[in-house]
Structure 1
Amino acid sequence: MIEQRWGLFHRWGPYVLLAFGLLMAVATGDVVGMDRGDWYLAGTLVAAGLALQLGWGALAPARPEPTPASVVYYLLRWAIAFVLTWLNPFFAFYAVVGYFGAERLLPPRLVKPGLLLTAVTMSGSQSGGLPPDGELGWVVFGGLFAVNVALLMVFAHLAAQEEQRALDAAATILELERTNNALQQAMDENAALHAQLLVQAREAGVADERRRLAAEIHDTIAQGLTGIIAQLQVVANAGDEGLAREHLGRAADLARHSLGEARRSVHNLSPTALEHDALPEALKKTVTEWSERTGVRAEFTVTGTAEPLHEEIEATLLRIVQEALSNASRHAAATRLGVTLSYMDGEVALDVRDDGCGFDPLALVRRSGSGGFGLDGMRARAERVAGSFTVESEPGHGTALSARVPLVRHG
């Protein structure tokens, strides 16, 4: 908007100022003492100024840069204004255009000389006309010229500061745009990485469940079937009916136990507990059912504001709790157990503590080469969703398991 206004001034301002100077000259010609010859010369110069302005307006580009043609235009305009001001000081209204646009028309090395030429014309007009009259006239002219030059220096300094501030502001805006673009790009990359992480977590979860199911079949169902076969072989070779009935009973118990293990394995493979309940309700039911089944006093607590989590996050936490409860029932010999689910800023924490026999985690690693008791599986589950898993235990002082996962909301 400002550039448009200045463009209008540079295009039409010289016409307006020349016309106003001519009107003032006509009104004061007798006072100044202009004779017929002066008016002929003034008319010729006014016509030359109009022709010069029309020619430059037709040939000059919309945003002129300093060129030899623009230098010639500036000097001719100054010369016309100087002679007109010599004839009548009121033509200085036209001469003042030399202060504006010098940077657009003159190369940097000629800007100051061009402004000084205009200052000479303006000082002559302000001192009463050119040439100055007598010694006092020259003193007044010199003083006014010094004042004009000082004002030029002040305004030039202020203009330079304003231009520098504009350049700094433009550089700051450009840097902010670059920073915003980089930030947006980083956010897009993080979103893509997050989506990729969840996809990889699902794929890893499928592979992990396959390995878990294979281990479950080997450790429970396959062993149960082996025991059943052994019991039936004893029955086939037994001649005592009582002994055969006893082994048949053992075989039936093993079959029921194996069936229960098979159902548990299928249940863990697909967490149906989350189909109809949110994570806190599913964990509460799981802990309650485990307590009723094992006779161990168990409590479940939720802290923070519960909110729906991504399906992979909820499945991971549920499976960690199921594995922790299974470990506690098989190895801890605990009398009390507590499960705490904590919703925090950007993170969800799951803590499982019992007062069981405990163990030495370092000794367990040295003996088995891994965490054992399903600890590696729980740690792997947490790490696959960019979480962490820690174990604190000591023989005779119980065990504390803690999982930390990102708070990734549903959807």
Structure 2
Amino acid sequence: MRLGQTAITTVLLVVAAIRAAADGVPLAWVLSIALVFTGWYVGGLVLGARTRDPVLATWWLGGLSLIWAGAVAISAEFVWLAFPLWLLAGFVLRLPWAIAFSVTILAVVISAPLLHSGTTSYANVVGPVVGGVFAFGIARGYLELVRDGRERRRLIASLVAAQEETAQLQDELARTQRESGAGMERTRLSRDIHDTVAQSLSSIGMIARGAESASAREMATALGQIVQLAHEGLVDVRRIANAMAPAELEGSAFGDALRRMLARLEEETGIRTDLHIDEALPAIPMGAEVALLRTVQSALANVRAHAAARRVVVTMTDAGDTVRLDIADDGIGFDATGWDAHAARRTDGTGYGLRAMRARLRELGGDLDIESTPGDGVALSASLPITANGAPR
């Protein structure tokens, strides 16, 4: 913009000087005016680029205007230089002062032909008005574009800073959640160990100390109690370990773990079992496998304890964006209408397994549906959402 403005000013100064010399103005005067105007103009541009002082720029524009006024007093041809003055007014001065300055320059331009020749024309009035409005509008529009660009850069910088802050907050939140989850897990493990294994070990120690001076019969009784407590402690340790990572999944595929569970059920109870796994089933992450495995374990425990079934069928299928696990038996069934609400009101603890299954699946975004009527068996349908790479949503 500055280069273009300088080029326009140079061209207009040359045209004005040539026309003034052609009108009979002494060449020395024309060259002197041109050199003074050029020197002041170029010096102001150089100094303004270094200091960027608005007060200095205002004084510079005032001095340039006085030089121009002197040139117009010598020759009306120098009114051509009013165009760069209008441009500079739009750049340098505040809007009210820029308007006042531009109107003053316009008045000088319109009056110059009258002062030199005593006559004027519509062209000498309309032309300067159009040129002044055009030049002033270009300058002010350019300033608005510059301001918009600066504001846009400021907003972009603010947005980038906000995104960085959001990323930091997300990292902090993730770290806090991990620490909270680890703390909750440590609390759960310490509580389980204290309430089970530690109590068993404490009781074993007490019984052993009490049997030091006991008779042979009492010693035998104490040994039996110690064996029983040790067995219960071992069961508790296995239960706690299984809650962290199911042993059935160690070193084997999920389908193999299901086959072993069903084979054990068939061997111990005589219930016939069938397993159907979709060959197109996507890879399932460990968290989803654990939830589905626990669902099968709990469902088979219910079949063993309550169903009086002769056959159990387990089916795993790929349902598009979800993996579906169906467990059906031909046992005595039950009334599944409102089972969740009824189970929550029971005081004997029954129904807890079904509610625990649903809660575990819902934590991963899945759900559990139950269909059953008395005498018609039970059908459980567990579903978990998965993405293309097999990760739960």
- Range class of TM-score, shorter chain: 0.5 to 0.7
Instruction: Count matched residues.
Output: 352
State the one-letter code of the partner of 2:128: F
Residue of structure 2 equivalent to 1:77: 64
State the one-letter code of the partner of 1:34: V
User: CA 1:388–1:120 in structure 2 vs 1: closer, same or farther (change >3 Å)?
Assistant: same
State the one-letter code of the partner of 1:79: L
Displacement of 1:317: 2.3
SS at match of 2:258: helix
Displacement of 1:380: 5.5
Q: Distance in 2 between matches of 1:30 and 1:52?
A: 21
Q: Distance in 1 between matches of 2:365 and 2:331?
A: 30
Q: Distance in 2 between matches of 1:346 and 1:193?
A: 31
1:409 aligns with 2:391: yes
Normalising by the residue count of structure 2, what TM-score does the alignment of the two structures yield?
Answer: 0.66
Q: Percent identity among equivalent residues? A: 22
Residue of structure 1 equivalent to 2:25: 34
Q: Distance in 2 between matches of 1:48 and 1:56?
A: 12
Residue of structure 2 equivalent to 1:113: 100
User: CA 1:333–1:73 in structure 2 vs 1: closer, same or farther (change >3 Å)?
Assistant: same
Q: Distance in 1 between matches of 2:49 and 2:161?
A: 33
Unaligned runs of 5+ in 1: 1-5, 218-232, 237-254
- Which one of 81, 87, 96 corresponds to residue 83 of structure 2? 96
1:300 aligns with 2:276: yes
Normalising by the residue count of structure 1, what TM-score does the alignment of the two structures yield?
Answer: 0.63
Displacement of 1:77: 0.9
User: CA 1:187–1:281 in structure 2 vs 1: closer, same or farther (change >3 Å)?
Assistant: farther
Residue of structure 2 equivalent to 1:375: 354
Residue of structure 2 equivalent to 1:319: 294
Q: Distance in 2 between matches of 1:286 and 1:120?
A: 102
| Residues 7-406 of structure 1: pairs in structure 2 closer than 5 A | 13=6, 20=11, 23-24=14-15, 27-35=18-26, 39-40=28-29, 42-53=30-41, 55-57=43-45, 59-60=47-48, 62=50, 64=52, 66-67=54-55, 69-88=56-75, 91=78, 94-119=81-106, 131=115, 133-135=117-119, 137-152=120-135, 155=138, 166=149, 173=156, 177=160, 180-181=163-164, 184=167, 188=171, 191-192=174-175, 195=178, 199=182, 203=186, 206=189, 268=242, 271-294=246-269, 295-302=271-278, 305-309=281-285, 311-341=286-316, 348-360=323-335, 361=339, 363-368=342-347, 370-372=349-351, 374-379=353-358, 381-382=360-361, 389=368, 391-405=370-384
User: CA 1:305–1:367 in structure 2 vs 1: closer, same or farther (change >3 Å)?
Assistant: closer
Are 2:324 and 2:384, in contact at CA under 8 Å, matched by a contact in 1? yes
- 1:215-249 deviations in Å (ceiling 9; x for gaps): xx9xxxxxxxxxxxxxxx9xx9xxxxxxxxxxxxx
Q: Distance in 1 between matches of 2:193 and 2:328?
A: 28
Residue of structure 2 equivalent to 1:245: none
Unaligned runs of 5+ in 2: 201-216, 221-227
Are 2:272 and 2:310, in contact at CA under 8 Å, matched by a contact in 1? yes
SS at match of 1:368: coil
User: CA 1:165–1:104 in structure 2 vs 1: closer, same or farther (change >3 Å)?
Assistant: closer
Residue of structure 1 equivalent to 2:205: none
Q: Distance in 1 between matches of 2:272 and 2:79?
A: 106
Q: Distance in 2 between matches of 1:390 and 1:264?
A: 32
Q: Distance in 1 between matches of 2:191 and 2:357?
A: 11
Are 1:45 and 1:84, in contact at CA under 8 Å, matched by a contact in 2? yes
User: CA 1:198–1:386 in structure 2 vs 1: closer, same or farther (change >3 Å)?
Assistant: farther
- 1:109-139 deviations in Å (ceiling 9; x for gaps): 11122333454566689xxx6746344x243
SS at match of 1:81: helix
State the one-letter code of the partner of 1:100: L
